Structures are given as structure tokens and as C-alpha cells.
Amino acid sequence: MKDIFKKQGYFKDKINPYELSDNATVELGAMKKNFASLDKDPYTSITNNRFRAYSNLILFPWERKLSWIPPQQKDGNLSSSYWQGNFNPEHKDAIRYFTPIDPTVKNSTLLNNIILHDYDLTFWDPAYSSLPIYVGVHFVKLAVLDKSQVAFSSPNLVHQDGEAFTFAHLFNRVNVRGGTNYISKPEWANHKLEQVDRCDIMEEFEMYEPFESYAVCDEMVSHYVSPIELDDKELQQGYREIVLIDFSLMHQWIK
Ligand SMILES: [Fe+2]
């Protein structure tokens, strides 16, 4: 898989949580509970039902050790800060603060082993291969509560993330249409999907099963996920839950 990733700048896969933790059943339950109680993303519009949690950590490759960065007090709540430099045109150079991931989930063997599993598929310039790696973990849920609603990710454009590698693992998808992933050539970053020359779209796919996954090498491709809406409009709600894990060099994020 790593060879494919290096060659084309993205890949699709499916991981098995039961191979990554002996306690996966219990730990998946804790993740499910965390997704069910996510706070609304404070940086989206009132009408967009996007919910998220974020925590960050330092990965020490030579010890295969993860050290979670403690959240800070912000306006009376514990928060983890997230900065994408100029890469997200909707939040240029802004630090965003999110509710941290539940401590039980952060400390679970499952999440820690997913992070290490993903890290093992990344590839770095040899000059940097012995440095600590900065890792961001996002739990993102898009929900639609009636047939007129759509919910969308940020940015709602073809884009690059700014982090060297991003892995996306579907956690759950219930009664939604859309959420189509597109991988395209990097020069289409910050364009609307409709503007992209179809010849430059390298892959178009959807994820349905829990732990279907994909990854991108940020400098090699751009990517996009389309908004979601209810599939069966007679049912009351639908949602799509994703675990995003990004990896970058520490010095990239020193402001
Ligand atoms: Fe992205």
C-alpha cells in the first residue's frame, strides 16, 4: 500500500479495528459515544449541522510513542487549538479552538494504534525522518435533520490541507446521499468542483462501510468531499461520521 501511496499520492483501503486492539468492541463503543455527543463546530453557520472534536499530539517515531498535548482553558472550556496557516481559505491564518476528544478515547489502544498504523504508511524526506511528528486527530460529524438540509465540510472547495498527510476513516454513515470524495491534481486547490477539468480528477468514490479509509499526500494531490443530504427523505435524520488524522513536521506549525 505504501508503494501505491508514494506513486499516486493517495490510496483507498479498509482497516479492521479488531486487528488493532484486543479491546476493540469496548473502545468502538466509547468512540460511538463520543461521536454521539460532539459539540457543534463553532466555526460553521447556524444552519450547517457540523459537529466536531479535535485533539493533537506529538509522535516520537523512535519510541513509537504518542504524547497528547493537554487542552487549554479557553472562555471557560477546555479546548485544543488548530491552525492551518493559509491553507484553509475559509479560515485563513486563523487559530480555531475545538472541544477535545474524550480522554477515554484518546487513551484507547484502538485510536493510538490507528494513528501508528497510519503513520507507518507516511513517507518523509530522509532529512526529516528522525524528527518528532505533529499529529492532529479530528472527529467530524455532518448531520441532516430534514429533507431541505445539506451539510458540508470545510472548506467546501477542492483543497489541500497544509498538513503533509491526511488519513480519513469512515466511522459511520446512516441514511445520507453525497459525501462523495474526489481526488484531483494539486493545481485545482481552492477551486469549486465544477471548475475542475474532469481529466484532472484522478478518483471519485464514496465510503459506506465503517473503517473504509483513504489517505492523501498533500503536496501530490488536492481533494474534496461533497455535501450530504438525506437519502430516504421519509426518515427523520442522516449523518456521516469521519475520523481524520493528519501528520506534519513540527517546525511547519511554528507561527
Ligand atoms: Fe481536507
CA distance 175 to 229: 9
* 59 alpha carbon – ligand 1 mean position (Å): 21
CA distance 227 to 135: 26
* 223 alpha carbon – ligand 1 mean position (Å): 6
* 129 alpha carbon – ligand 1 mean position (Å): 24
* 36 alpha carbon – ligand 1 mean position (Å): 22
* 23 alpha carbon – ligand 1 mean position (Å): 30
* 14 alpha carbon – ligand 1 mean position (Å): 19
* 218 alpha carbon – ligand 1 mean position (Å): 9
* 246 alpha carbon – ligand 1 mean position (Å): 9
- Look up the CATH number of domain 2-253: 2.60.120.620
pLDDT reported for residue 18: 98
pLDDT reported for residue 89: 65
* 94 alpha carbon – ligand 1 mean position (Å): 16
CA distance 12 to 113: 18
* 216 alpha carbon – ligand 1 mean position (Å): 9
CB–CB of 153/250 below 8 Å?
no
* 139 alpha carbon – ligand 1 mean position (Å): 13
pLDDT reported for residue 86: 63
* 131 alpha carbon – ligand 1 mean position (Å): 24
* 244 alpha carbon – ligand 1 mean position (Å): 9
* 203 alpha carbon – ligand 1 mean position (Å): 15
* 163 alpha carbon – ligand 1 mean position (Å): 9
* 153 alpha carbon – ligand 1 mean position (Å): 8
SS (H, E, C) the chain: CHHHHHHHCEEEEECCHHHHCCCHHHHHHHHHHHHHCCCECCCCCCCCCEEEEEEEEEEECCCCEEEECCCEEECCEEEEEEECCCCCHHHCCCEEEECCCCHHHHCCHHHHHHHHHHHCCCCCCHHHCCCCEEEEEEEEEEEECCCCCCECCCCCCEECCCCCEEEEEEEEEECEEECCEEEECHHHCCECHHHCCHHHEEEEECCCCCCEEEEEECCCCEEEECCEEECCCCCCCEEEEEEEEEEEEHHHHCC
* 234 alpha carbon – ligand 1 mean position (Å): 31
* 242 alpha carbon – ligand 1 mean position (Å): 12
Please list the pLDDT of the chain residue by residue as tens digits (255 residues).
Answer: 899 999 999 999 999 999 999 999 999 999 999 999 999 988 877 778 899 999 999 999 999 999 999 999 888 888 888 876 666 666 666 788 889 999 999 999 999 999 999 999 999 988 877 789 999 999 999 999 988 889 888 888 999 999 999 999 999 999 999 999 999 999 999 999 999 999 999 999 999 999 999 999 999 999 999 999 999 888 889 999 999 999 999 866 555
Instruction: Write down the domain spans for the chain.
Output: 2-253
